[in-house]
Amino acid sequence: MKCSIHITDIGVPALVAVALGVLSMSGCSGRPADDSAVDMDQLLPQQISGWTRAESSVTYDRETIFDYINGAGEVYRSYGFGEVLVARYTASELPEVTVELFDMGNPADAYGVFSYARESEELGIGGGYEQRGRVLCFWQDRFYVCVLSEERTSDSDQDLITVARSVSQQLPSATSLPDLVNKLPTDGLVRFSERFFHLHQSLNYHYYLARENLFNLSAATDAVMARYAPGSTYLLLIEYTDEGGAVEALTSFRELYLPDAGAVTTVETENGKFVSYARNGRFLAVVLDATSETVANELLQKALGNLP
């Protein structure tokens, strides 16, 4: 099936509509779920301060996720998503709270889905959290968690933090950023702009490059994109399973995106911006929309210096 990107209905009954910007990638699936067993039900507490967990918790897997969040389920399926447990917490004098516990298969993909449409990030819950209105989402170990308050009240912001911290205490504490994210140069990096992903459709969501899969991205590739000052320069790092995959991808990119560039590795594009690229072993580094040739080359060399 050919993949297409579209916006899902705003009324979907899931927090992903707020947390991920309701992107859908129909017919596209990414990394398969980790087969290691996790008892999701045991990871959510029965009591959280004044809230009691309802008995009607529901679990959705990679196939039934669409019954819960419609087409936006493909965002999770583009990572190692295995299942999500949805639980409601009620209290006599407090707004109802819903908790979504996503098993993303590994810490890298938990971070990836958290970073997908992140606008800000705070420390203190899991590996980092973001709160937008009635929703708070965080990532920790292999899990991505969203907490939703039914109502916005004067206390609801603190209520979300209370519930999220209680859930966090039940989860494995080991949390680490994907290795590729740590290879991004820090000079000029725009805060919260890092996006970790695997698929071509995800790349096009963050930066539309081309309809074709120029870099041969797949479930087996890791990729991170981030923005840099000055201007809005983008750096894309891709890790392939072997050097041959990187060679093939670089050839594809040059032939399809820069067919007239020849052996030149820094090119001025039609919009007056600059593209620069290089391969280092099984890694590719690509600078897009640089404000000058110097900016493009300097950022590229910094990126290459961080790659093994």
- Tens place of pLDDT per residue across the chain (308 aa): 333 322 223 233 344 444 444 444 544 566 655 556 688 999 999 999 889 999 889 999 999 999 998 777 999 999 999 999 999 999 888 889 999 999 999 999 999 999 999 999 999 999 999 999 999 999 999 999 999 998 887 788 899 999 999 999 999 987 899 999 999 999 999 999 999 999 999 999 999 999 999 999 999 999 999 999 988 999 999 999 999 999 999 999 999 999 988 777 999 998 999 999 999 999 999 999 999 999 999 999 999 999 98
Tell me: domain 4-170, CATH 3.40.1000, correct? yes
Cα dist. 116→51, 137, 213 in Å? 30, 12, 19
- Whether residue 212 contacts residue 196, with contact meaning beta carbons closer than 8 Å, is answered with no
Helix (H, G, I), strand (E, B), or coil: what is residue 126? coil
Token digits of residue 234: 């983008």
How is 36-80 classified by DSSP, letter by letter?
S---GGGGS-SEETTEEE-S--EEEETTTHHHHHGGGHHHHHTTT
- Whether residue 75 contacts residue 24, with contact meaning beta carbons closer than 8 Å, is answered with yes
Question: Whole-angstrom Cα distance, residue 85 to residue 146?
Answer: 11
Question: Whole-angstrom Cα distance, residue 152 to residue 178?
Answer: 34
Domain boundaries, the chain: 4-170, 179-306
Cα dist. 26→14, 77, 110, 246 in Å? 18, 10, 21, 27
Helix (H, G, I), strand (E, B), or coil: what is residue 290? strand
Question: What is the distance in angstroms between the CA of the first residue and the CA of the last residue of the chain?
Answer: 37
Domain 4-170 shares a fold with domain 179-306: yes
- Sign, CA dihedral 139-120-66-74, equals negative
The model's pTM: 0.89
Question: Whole-angstrom Cα distance, residue 6 to residue 157?
Answer: 31
SS3 assignment for 157-195 = HHHHHHHHHHHHHHCCCCCCCCHHHHCCCCCCECCCCCE
Q: Which CATH architecture has domain 179-306?
A: 3-Layer(aba) Sandwich (3.40)
How is 75-124 classified by DSSP, letter by letter?
HHHTTT--EEEEEEEE-SSS--EEEEEEE-SSHHHHHHHHHTT----BSS
